[in-house]
Amino acid sequence: MIVYDRLSALCPDIALHGQVPLAPCTTLRVGGKADVFAEPENEEQLKALLSAAWQAEVPVLLLGNGSNLLIKDGGFRGLAVRLGKKFSAITVTGNEIYAQAGALLSALSRAARDASLTGLEFAQGIPGTVGGGVYMNAGAYGGELGKFVTSVRVLDGDGIRDISGSDMAFAYRHTRAMEEQWIILGASFHLETGNMEMIEFAMRDYAARRKEKQPLEYPSAGSFFKRPTGYFAGKLIEDAGLKGARVGGAQVSEKHAGFLVNRGGATAKDFLALKTLVQDTVKEKFGVQLEPEVRIVGEDA
């Protein structure tokens, strides 16, 4: 409990919890415990927490909805900070929407629809938060968040500041925030005025396509691998004969080979072994190296 004691001494007014299981905080439902866990109520608490962690040289793991994350079975030796409901405000002003980092992308998409603003229909089924989505430029069905971001509120060692969307260097599943290790607090999006019924129709269409093609009935982290240049990861995996391949409770989805799913009782070790099997097989058969889109953190058990 050394880490807990250090942070408690530096942040006496913030609720901290020791040895908290992180599996329920991820959509894969696997992973060990964090030494310390906290859910700050506002930006000042978050700033104080991170400052204390940096001062005490304690590693920090930022969590949103945990939808693009694999935490190893040994857990995380440090401070896990979840930005959830208390960091989820969404404000619409004309054609601009500001959303805090903890807001779900589905909620952001619905807020845009309710204001008759078009552009974010594709995001209604992405199971992540605004913070994580902007951090890695999440996208689906040809749309990407970065196309609509006008500014991003970030926290780093110099404090809180706003970064223009053009300075974020948005690219496929990559942003400047990843390079600079910025903590994203929120983002502003500029959208075009549209027809609410057409926006709703598009959202329903995306939802139906997801239900038909994606294994929504099982815990997953979404698309597990990045799209290799000139290929589709799911097709490569399927063509390699790996649909349905299983290690323990982890399985290559029988519905969509780009998804690795938890069929029940899976461990992070199962997923890591399945990841390696997929990578090695695809590399051997097609000469293509698949890279994980999912972040892998923590320690082995």
Known active-site residue 223: yes
Sequence-distant (≥ 6) Cβ neighbours of residue 67 within 8 angstroms: 26, 27, 126, 127, 128, 129, 132, 221, 222
Known active-site residue 188: no
Catalytic residue among 173, 176, 210, 263: 173
Known active-site residue 227: no
Catalytic residue among 151, 220, 223, 253: 223
- As annotated, the active-site residues are 173, 223, 293
